[in-house]
Amino acid sequence: MEILSHAITGSASAKLSLPRNDNVHRRLVGCRHGFSYLNLRTLRSQRGRRIFSKVQCSQQSSNNSIDFTDPDWKSKFQQDFERRFNIPHITDIFPDAQSFPSTFCLKMRTPVNEDFAEGYPSDEEWHGYINNNDRVLLKVINYSSHKSAGAECIDPNCTWVEQWVHRAGPREKIYFKPEEVKAAIVTCGGLCPGLNDVIRQIVITLEIYGVKNIVGIPFGYRGFSDKDLDEVPLSRKVVQNIHLSGGSLLGVSRGGPSVSDIVTNMEERGINMLFVLGGNGTHAGANAIHNECRKRKLKVAVVGVPKTIDNDILLMDKTFGFDTAVEEAQRAINPAYIEAHSAYHGIGIVKLMGRSSGFIAMQSSLASGQVDICLIPEVPFRLHGPHGVLRHLKYLIETKGSAVVCVAEGAGQNLIEKTNATDASGNIVLGDIGVHIQQETKKYFKELGIPADVKYIDPTYMIRACRANASDGILCTVLGQNAVHGAFAGYGGITVGICNTHYVYFPIPEVISHPREVDPNSRMWHRCLTSTGQPDFI
C-alpha cells in the first residue's frame, strides 16, 4: 500500500490528449469536466507575437470518447456526468443500512437526551432539511461561441448542456446514531487561515447532532502512526475561541503512514467519522482511506474540507483561506509600492504563494491597484530580450520613475535551475523565482549604467499563519457545518465546496486530478492585464 503522499489515483474522467510537456496542456482549464473543444490562448513565442491555437481534448467516459456525430451524444454526456458526480453512500456497501430521523433540528434547542429514551427527536413541520434530489448547476454561463473569453465548451458548437451536482446541507434521515459515533478531525499539509474556524464548527455541529465522542488527530496523518502523539479530546468548551488565532489547534504535517495502516488504526480506535482538512494531496489520501474502508466493509464516513491558500481546487468558486491571503498580501504590496515610489528609480518585488496556480498573485494585483507587472505560472514570460520583463521595467523607470512586480512562487521555473528535490508530500521543491528576478534586475540595470533601488519582500509565512478574515470565517463556518451534515446523511468519499455561491458535495476524485489554474483567456486575467497595463513578455 502506498504512502499518502502518493495516493492519488486515476479516475474515469476526461484525459488530455496532449503530452505533459506541451505548453498548451497548462491552458486546458476545465477540460477534464466536460469541456472538450476549447479555443484558448497558447502563449508561445513566435516572432514575439501572441498566437492563438484551437486545442481539442477528448472527453473520455468509462470506455470511449464522445462521438459528436451521434444524435444522442448530449444525453449520453449527461448520463456519464451524473455517473461520475454521483456521491458514494453507505447504502452502496450496506443496502440494508438503517436510517433514523435526524437529530439535527433548530427548533429543538435543548440537549439531546443521553439514552434517547423517547427516540430521536424530530420536528416534521421544520422545513430546514435538504432533499436528496436537490441539485446545483455546475456551470451558469451559456457561451454562444468557443471564441468568447474564457469559453468552456463541450462541442464545437458550444451546445448548452446542464450539469448538476449535489446540494449540501442537513437531511431528514441520518445513518449514524450520535451516541455510537466517534468522530475524528485531522488537518494536513501546510498552514492556512481558517483551519481553526473549520475545526470549531465541525465540533459544534457534531454536538448539536448529539455526538459526545470527538477527537483531534495531531499533526496530520502522522498522528495515526506516531505512538508519541495522543488524540486530542474536543468539545465546544475546548474549541470555543480557537478561531480567534491562526494556525491549527491540532498541528499540521505532510506525508504519513500507509493507507492500510491508517484504516487499521481507525478500526482500533473505533473511529467511524473522519473529517479531513487539506488540499489536493490530502484529499487523495482521504479518498484512498474511503476506498480502503469500503473494501473492508467498514461503516465509516470520510469527508473532506478543501484547504488550500492557492485556491487551486477544481470546480469550486474558492477555497477557505484564499480571501484572507489576498487581503494580507496587500500588507506586502503596499510597502513595496511605498519603498519603490519613495526611492530614486525604485523597484519593489513581491513574491506570493501559488505553486501551479496564480490566483493569489492575480487577485492581489487587482485589489492593490499598485502593481505594474504580475507574473503567474500559467503564463510563460521572458526576463531578457526586447519583449522581456527587464526591458519593460526599464520603460517603467523611464516613464514612471518606479515599478512594482508581483510574482507567484511557481512562475518562471523554467528560468532557474531545478532542484530535483521533493517535500514530504511529493511536491517538487521550487526554485526561488523572487530572488532570481531581484538579482537579474540589479544586474540588468547595473550593466546599463542606470541606478536602480531594488527591494524584495516575501510575506509567505506571515500570510499563512494569520487568522481568517470575516469572509473566510463565514465560508469556514458553512463548510464545517455541511461536512458534518454530509457524514450523518451517510455520504463518504466526498468533499464540500462552494459552487456558484451555493454549497455542494463533490466526489473527491473529480476535484483532485490536477490543480485548478488561471485561464489566460479568462475575463479575470484580462482584467488584471488591464489594471497593470503590462504587455506580453514573450
Q: Which residue numbers are catalytic?
A: 310
| 258 φ, ψ (degrees, to nearest 5) | -70, 160
Helix (H, G, I), strand (E, B) or coil at 44: strand
Residue where the block lists cell 482549464: 29
Q: Single out the residue of 401, 403, 412 nearest to residue 434, CA to CA.
A: 412
Residue 322, SS3 per DSSP:
helix
Which parts of 85-124 fold into alpha helices (H)? 90-93
d(CA 51, CA 24): 12
Query: Are 306 and 283 spatial neighbours (Cβ–Cβ below 8 Å)?
Result: yes
What is the distance between the alpha carbons of residues 340 and 318, in angstroms, rounded to a whole number?
A: 32
Cβ atoms within 10 Å, residue 73: 17
C-beta separation of 281 from 189 below 8 A: yes
Spell out the residues 6+ positions from residue 67 whose beta carbon is closer than 8 angstroms to its own: 73
Amino acid at 444: Y
DSSP state of 172: S
* Cβ atoms within 10 Å, residue 516: 21
Listing from the earlier edge strand, what are the strands of the sheet with 273-278?
Answer: 135-137, 164-167, 502-507, 494-499, 301-306, 273-278, 182-187, 213-217, 232-233
* Angle value at C-alpha 298, between 296 and 304, nearest 5 degrees: 105
* Residue whose grid cell is 458535495: 505
Instruction: Write down how long the chain is.
Output: 538
Query: 56 in helix, strand or coil?
Result: strand
Helix axis angle, 470-488 relative to 322-342, nearest 10°? 160
Which backbone phi and psi does 514 adopt, to 5 degrees?
Answer: -160, 160
Strand order of the β-sheet with 346-352 is 373-375, 402-408, 346-352, 453-457
Q: For residue 296, how many other CB atoms are within 10 A of its CB?
A: 13
